[in-house]
Chains A and B, each alone.
Chain A
Amino acid sequence: MNASIVNSRRGIRQRISLTAHKYIAILYVSIVNNLTYMVEVVFRSVFLIIFVYIFLQLWTVTYASRNLSSLGGFRISDMIWYLAMTETIALSLPQLTRQIDMEVRSGEIAYLLGRPCSYVMYRFAQYFGERIVRLVMNTIVAGLIAFIFVGPPPFTWQGLVAWPLVLLFAISIEYAIYFSVGLLAFWTEETAPFSLVINRLAMILGGMLAPLEILPQPIRGIAQVLPFSAIYNGPAHTLIRFNLGQFGALLLQQSITLAISCAVLAVIYWLATRRVSINGG
């Protein structure tokens, strides 16, 4: 009896280990693939420089014209580092919706579904690999630019330790949202418009263009409960102004947002895969 329980546990552990190895291998291939096209990754970072420069000008003028030393608790250097970090996250998003949309439209999804791995997890491993490469490059570029413009970062060691965890949650939430939008290609002629609107909502109400603290009420209140604040504002906030209570609240918000996003994704995926038909050949 005991021996069979031990064997069964060992079997489950082995299966989990094999599954994990499979997705880690896909993740590794994705990272290597993206490192191969490093010039393209560097090239994309150029736009980041433009954004950080524009925001630096905008907020420097704003602080100077109002004679402000701090705004919503942010000094000008905090503000620029905050925006550099939100831009780092935002501009590292791969074209996930477009990819899923194309796979649905071309019928390629039928072949991918037949593979001995979950389509959702397969794409997540690929997305995660691409995102890691872009995030690292963007962090280097944005960090350098922000350092040149406003000096050393106001990060605390707690913020630096917490950053990877909240970032992992943030990019997982984005994956669930944009993957779900891509799957809408099963029902609609075009998914790019949905993706564009979600992206713009995330930019403005997620705190990518300015910290939510400086938005007027009731917009601030609405923005704080939307999932977008868990993607940009929360993680950047954790890094710039770490506070244990806020960190706990952010983790809770991210967990709830991720759970809801994954539930929506699961429902859409279930409905979508019922529409797939494979006809030999």
Chain B
Amino acid sequence: MSIQRFWRTLRFIGAYTAANVQAAMEYRISFWMQILTMVANDGLWLFFWYTYFHQFPLVHGWQNTDIVVIWAVAACGFGLSVGIFGNAPKLAILIMNGGLDAYLGMPRYVLLHASISASDPTAWGDILFAVGSFLVLVRPNPLQIALFILLVLMGAFIFTAFTIIFCSLAFFVGNTDGLAQQLRNALITFATYPMNLFSGVVRLMLFTVIPAGFISFIPLQLLHQFTWPLLGGMIGFTVLIVLLAVAIFEYGLRRYESGNLMGMQS
């Protein structure tokens, strides 16, 4: 892909994200209320962990700031995923209802176009919370801030790719909307608990089938003690899961049957 094409794609994503935010801001009070309540929701979870570590400091070497870091990277990664690629969780429904027709006739890449055409306003609450808690409670140095940005971007790609993989199964086995939703919930849940709690087969699963380890645990390790091999592993996994998501979607698209659905893309 040429650099020019890369920038064009970025501008395309940026334009869609801005349009989605503007559309959500049509209902201004609702938009801000959703953001604030999501900040409150994430804050309440941190409050639980605060009370937990107040009672049991240093369980398995974990402490309050570690929880802040995993919540910040997981919430920011998830927020970017549903804030920018907010339509990806609806792909299974689109596939089932023939809703991809509206994108197939467009000049842009179908998967990207379909994924960015909606945004969840609560995502900005997650991002606001994540950035705020990371800066205020962890007090990172400039290098850690740069690393945080890189890691949450990769986390967002992993979240999105994971969603696309399980939604794309709808091409082969029928409606997978419920399955994808449950697995996304599992991914988010596992990503927000200390990884040291899990061992054996479950731990292996958390670095493969439900890659929660790559969303929060590896970033935590990198922010604690940076090593190039670990960063390489993180980048490698991100590239692998994105390619897998694209391959499954592309393969499935060949089996896609139009729903003759009349639709309008504004």
Find chain A residues with CB under 8 A from B179 CB: 43
Tell me if A216 counts as interface (CB < 8 A to partner B). yes
* A58→B193 contact, CB < 8 A: yes
* A200→B30 contact, CB < 8 A: no
- Of the listed stretches B49-57, B233-241, B255-263, name the one at the interface; the rest are far from the partner chain: B49-57
Q: Render B187-229 as a binary contact track against A, CB cut-off 8 A, 1 for contact.
A: 0011001101110001000000000000000000000000000
Find chain B residues with CB under 8 A from A189 CB: 27, 29-30, 33
Tell me if B36 counts as interface (CB < 8 A to partner A). yes
Tell me if B44 counts as interface (CB < 8 A to partner A). yes
CA gap between A215 and B30 in the complex, in Å: 34
* A47→B186 contact, CB < 8 A: yes
CA gap between A194 and B33 in the complex, in Å: 9
* B41→A188 contact, CB < 8 A: no
Q: Using a CB–CB distance below 8 Å, which chain A residues touch chain B?
A: 40, 43-44, 46-47, 50-51, 53-54, 57-58, 61-62, 65-66, 188-190, 192-194, 196-197, 200-201, 203-204, 209-210, 214-216, 219
* A219→B186 contact, CB < 8 A: no
* A196→B51 contact, CB < 8 A: no
A163–chain B nearest beta-carbon distance, Å: 26
Find chain B residues with CB under 8 A from A58 CB: 193-194, 197
- B residues 11-58 touching A (CB-CB < 8 Å): 27, 29-30, 33-34, 36-38, 40-41, 44-45, 47-48, 51-52, 54-56
A116–chain B nearest beta-carbon distance, Å: 35
CA gap between A189 and B30 in the complex, in Å: 6
Chain B residue at smallest Cβ distance from A209: B48
Which among A193, A204, A209 has the highest number of chain B CB atoms within 10 Å? A193
Find chain A residues with CB under 8 A from B51 CB: 215-216, 219
Tell me if B174 counts as interface (CB < 8 A to partner A). no
A214–chain B nearest beta-carbon distance, Å: 6
CA gap between A50 and B59 in the complex, in Å: 21
Chain A residue at smallest Cβ distance from B179: A43
* B190→A200 contact, CB < 8 A: no
Find chain B residues with CB under 8 A from A194 CB: 37
CA gap between A172 and B229 in the complex, in Å: 55
* B34→A192 contact, CB < 8 A: yes
A247–chain B nearest beta-carbon distance, Å: 27
* A190→B33 contact, CB < 8 A: yes
B66–chain A nearest beta-carbon distance, Å: 14
Find chain A residues with CB under 8 A from B33 CB: 188-190, 193
CA gap between A200 and B48 in the complex, in Å: 10
Q: Render B157-186 as a binary contact track against A, CB cut-off 8 A, 1 for contact.
A: 000000000000000000000110010011
Tell me if B254 counts as interface (CB < 8 A to partner A). no
Tell me if B60 counts as interface (CB < 8 A to partner A). yes
CA gap between A58 and B54 in the complex, in Å: 15
A182–chain B nearest beta-carbon distance, Å: 15
User: Are A200 and B59 CB-contacts (below 8 A) given A58-B193, A61-B197, A189-B29?
Assistant: no
Q: Render B247-258 as a binary contact track against A, CB cut-off 8 A, 1 for contact.
A: 000000000000
CA gap between A247 and B194 in the complex, in Å: 36
CA gap between A38 and B165 in the complex, in Å: 26
Residue contacts A-B, CB under 8 angstroms, 12 given: A40-B178, A43-B178, A54-B189, A58-B193, A65-B60, A193-B33, A197-B37, A197-B40, A200-B41, A204-B48, A215-B51, A216-B55
* B48→A51 contact, CB < 8 A: no
* A196→B37 contact, CB < 8 A: yes
Chain A residue at smallest Cβ distance from B183: A46
Chain B residue at smallest Cβ distance from A66: B56
CA gap between A222 and B208 in the complex, in Å: 42
Could you say which of B30, B178, B194 contacts A190, with CB atoms under 8 Å apart?
A: B30
CA gap between A192 and B184 in the complex, in Å: 20
A70–chain B nearest beta-carbon distance, Å: 14
Find chain A residues with CB under 8 A from B60 CB: 61, 65
A84–chain B nearest beta-carbon distance, Å: 16
CA gap between A54 and B195 in the complex, in Å: 10
Find chain B residues with CB under 8 A from A65 CB: 56, 59-60
Could you say which of A44, A54, A188 contacts B197, with CB atoms under 8 Å apart?
A: A54
- B residues 70-125 touching A (CB-CB < 8 Å): none
* B44→A200 contact, CB < 8 A: yes
What are the 10 tightest A-B residue pairs by CB atom distance, in nearest-first order?
Answer: A193-B37, A189-B30, A190-B30, A57-B197, A200-B44, A189-B27, A193-B33, A204-B48, A200-B41, A65-B59
B186–chain A nearest beta-carbon distance, Å: 5
* B55→A200 contact, CB < 8 A: no
CA gap between A232 and B179 in the complex, in Å: 28
* B189→A50 contact, CB < 8 A: yes
User: Are A57 and B198 CB-contacts (below 8 A) given A193-B36, A196-B41, A200-B45?
Assistant: yes
* A188→B29 contact, CB < 8 A: yes
Find chain A residues with CB under 8 A from B55 CB: 214-216
CA gap between A73 and B198 in the complex, in Å: 26
CA gap between A57 and B36 in the complex, in Å: 32
Find chain A residues with CB under 8 A from B59 CB: 61-62, 65-66
